[in-house]
Amino acid sequence: MELDRLEKRIRALQARKAARAATFKRVQGIDPTEHEAAVYHALHEDIAADAHTYYNLPGGRGSCKSSFVSLEIVDGIQKDPTGTGSAVVFRRWGSTLRESVFAQIQWAIDALGVSDLWSCTVSPMRCTYIPTGAQIIFRGLDDNSKIKSIKPAKGFFRWVWFEEFSELPGENFVRSVMQSVGRGGKPVVFRSFNPPVSLNNWANKFIQQPNEEALTLHTDYTQVPPEWLGEVFLNEAQRIQSLNPKVYDHEYLGIPTGSGGEIFTTLEVREIADEELEMQCYRYVGVDFGFASDPAAVVVLYYDRSTETIYFADEIYKRGLSNEALAAEIRAHGLDHVGETRKNPITGAETAPEQVIYCDCAEPKSIMDLRTYGLQARPCTKHPGCVNYRIKWLQKRTLVVDPRRTPNIYREFSQYEYDTDKDGNFLPSVPDRDNHTCDATAYSLDRLIFNKNEGA
């Protein structure tokens, strides 16, 4: 009886060993480059040769850089003979993980035809390679302190992926994260992102720093098979190219189009999650009046004083609006009140605090009209030199803009540049054109900008 049990155990162990060997042979025959654009094939060989530690992947929309990274991570874990190499995937905000990098890794697993070898769960968010137990862990960097104790179930983080790398606060922040996850062995680190518009953005400058351990590959959608992208994507790219070549160069070709003469060099162009705005406390609204040739521009933003960061949340940007119609638009956007509705303990009436709206003081009649239509409209400060003072104040703050939330704010702030003389030299004065949302932004923060305690 004891001998029979021993023989069964031996046969079971042999069967598991044979199954592992068959699985390893199977994944060794998988070629991820079949699903990678040809532009990435040399990079695949470089990774296989363990030639570099860091791989910088700036690129435009549709360049398939995220697809490449996800394939490399899944394939790398499967072909690790030791089974000790896991992966960690980061994005700035945890709320964006599931619909982006988590879905991307699942796509790679399915594309390689190995879904039966992986187990993916949302809570906790991770993908486990069943044959070895190696994991792909997903984390948002909302709270950097939570990263200090992060570790895989076994082994070390062989693969580290920073998706939307430019969303992160800066070089010191990235270094701190790497100190937490880069223990136990030599990692392969991917930094994928759409380059911010400004040449002076920290991420654009960071990847240009000399580093023998880093390899940079800039890609765009023209290097990807057209059938992978689809007719809708390609038609939209052509439409943007004909409509606004500069926006096309930035969004689709991934080129930082800021000339170095841009007025707002601290512009941070990225997705803003709803949860990120919900964390903010103070909302500000500003109005720049217009009608025919110039639009009426209303800017809604939040300002975090502790980090000196402005988050653009909403906008109104329309021509031909009467002051009555403008007031109706403002109310339709929910900008007439702020905060929760409160009940008066004496009268029982429910009210909500009214939103103060700062406007261009050059139009007192329009301000009076908005007040007549029930809005708390107030004039901004005006004195000699106030325009340049406002600009300088804004230049010292980080300006976070999401092109999908506020396309006109993005366009005006990203394209606002100093004028040049006949020799191409930048002039010190700021131009007074195509800056309606810039003005509205300055008006909204009027009481902060001219508060001596805030500092210029």
pLDDT tens digits, one per residue of 173-195? 899 899 888 777 889 999 999 99
Q: Which two tokens stand for residue 428?
A: 């010190």
What torsion, rounded to 10 degrees, do the Cα atoms 402, 403, 406, 410 define? 100
- Which bin fits 298, alpha (ψ -120 to 50), beta or left (φ > 0)? beta
Say what percent of the chain tops pLDDT 90.
61
Give the integer Cα–Cα distance in Å for 426 and 418: 6
- Residue 327: is its pLDDT beyond 60? yes
CB of 57 closer than 8 Å to CB of 190? yes
Has 164 been annotated as catalytic? yes
Nearest to 89 by CA among 155, 158, 27: 158
- Point out the catalytic residue in the list 36, 164, 268, 412: 164
Between 171 and 16, residue with greater pLDDT: 171
Give the integer Cα–Cα distance in Å for 454 and 445: 11
- Predicted local distance difference test score (pLDDT) of residue 22: 67
pLDDT tens digits, one per residue of 124-158? 999 999 999 999 999 999 876 667 778 888 889 99
- Predicted local distance difference test score (pLDDT) of residue 18: 64
Give the integer Cα–Cα distance in Å for 47 and 188: 8
pLDDT tens digits, one per residue of 370-403? 999 999 999 998 887 788 889 989 998 989 999 9
Give the integer Cα–Cα distance in Å for 345 and 182: 57
pLDDT tens digits, one per residue of 81-101? 888 899 999 998 888 899 999
399 bridge partner residues: 267, 310
CB of 36 closer than 8 Å to CB of 65? no
pLDDT tens digits, one per residue of 268-282? 888 899 999 999 989
pLDDT tens digits, one per residue of 293-320? 899 999 999 999 988 899 999 999 999 9
The DSSP secondary-structure symbol of 34 reads G
Give the integer Cα–Cα distance in Å for 291 and 273: 32
Ordered by where they begin, the domains of the chain are: 18-231 (3.40.50.300), 267-341+350-449 (3.30.420.280)
What number of other Cβ atoms are within 10 A of residue 291's Cβ?
A: 15
DSSP string, 361-372: TT-HHHHHHHHH
- Predicted local distance difference test score (pLDDT) of residue 368: 97
